[in-house]
């Protein structure tokens, strides 16, 4: 190794010329500072990207729930309801009794004809379908839903007996495991 020696003007003693570069300690300190900065960025900034999708998922969940509610509310109150537009409701004198059994009456979803057919309908992606059996999993990736129906009072509290009201509750789970519950009451009008 060749070193240059120069004499200082003040003392006249030889000194080594300074070399350009970093010492090992300076490099270690630089790496530690860089690691600290990166960890700070990853803990503060990157989670915000996931949270920015939450409003979009909430709107999609509300839209899907609204579609289910419209589909269900458009059906007859009961299997024994007068579907021809008559004035008799199930359970009234002269009309068949309201069914005490909730759930499908042997039909598939495309053939559901009353509100309680949707009881305990649970589907997850990739089997997510609309009322006509068309796949909607592309629009709702990672979503799942569960629909429950019960006889209820006018406030929506489930009752153990047959009443003139049914509560329909739709629970949606988004791809970020957020649960949203929507409910409506359907009356036997």
Query: Taking the model in full, what pTM does it have?
Result: 0.66
Q: What are the strands of the beta sheet with 121-124, ordered from one edge? A: 121-124, 144-152, 165-173, 179-187
User: Tell me: the pLDDT tens digits for 15-62?
Assistant: 555 567 778 898 999 999 999 999 888 887 776 666 677 888 888 888
- For residues 187 and 143, give the distance between their C-alpha atoms in angstroms, rounded to a whole number: 29
- For residues 89 and 188, give the distance between their C-alpha atoms in angstroms, rounded to a whole number: 7
User: Tell me: the pLDDT tens digits for 92-120?
Assistant: 777 777 777 888 878 877 788 888 888 88
Categorize the per-residue pLDDT at 79 as very low, low, confident or very high, splitting at 50, 70 and 90.
Answer: confident
Task: Give residue 182's pLDDT.
Answer: 93
User: Tell me: the pLDDT tens digits for 128-179?
Assistant: 777 777 777 777 888 888 999 998 988 888 888 888 899 999 999 888 888 9
Q: Which SS3 state, helix, strand or coil, does residue 30 take?
A: helix
Here the tokens at position 26 are 């300076």
Domain residue ranges in the chain: 52-187
């Amino acid at each position: 190794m060749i070193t240059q020696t120069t004499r200082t003007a003040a003392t006249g003693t030889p000194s080594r010329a300074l070399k350009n570069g970093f010492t090992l300690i300076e490099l270690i300190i630089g790496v530690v500072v860089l690691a600290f900065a990166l960890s700070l960025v990853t803990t503060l900034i990157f989670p915000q990207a996931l949270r920015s999708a939450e409003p979009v998922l909430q709107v999609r969940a509300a839209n899907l729930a609204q579609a289910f509610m419209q589909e269900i509310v458009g059906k007859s109150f009961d299997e024994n309801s007068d579907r021809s537009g008559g004035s008799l409701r199930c359970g009234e004198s002269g009309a068949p009794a309201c069914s005490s059994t909730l759930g499908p009456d042997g039909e598939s979803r495309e053939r559901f004809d009353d509100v309680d057919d949707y009881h305990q309908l649970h589907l997850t992606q990739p089997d997510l379908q609309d009322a006509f059996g068309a796949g909607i999993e592309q629009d709702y990736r990672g979503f799942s839903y569960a629909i429950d129906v019960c006889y209820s009072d006018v406030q929506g509290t489930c009752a153990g007996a047959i009443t003139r009201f049914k509560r329909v509750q739709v629970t949606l789970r988004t791809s970020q495991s957020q649960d949203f519950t929507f409910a409506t009451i359907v009356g036997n009008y």
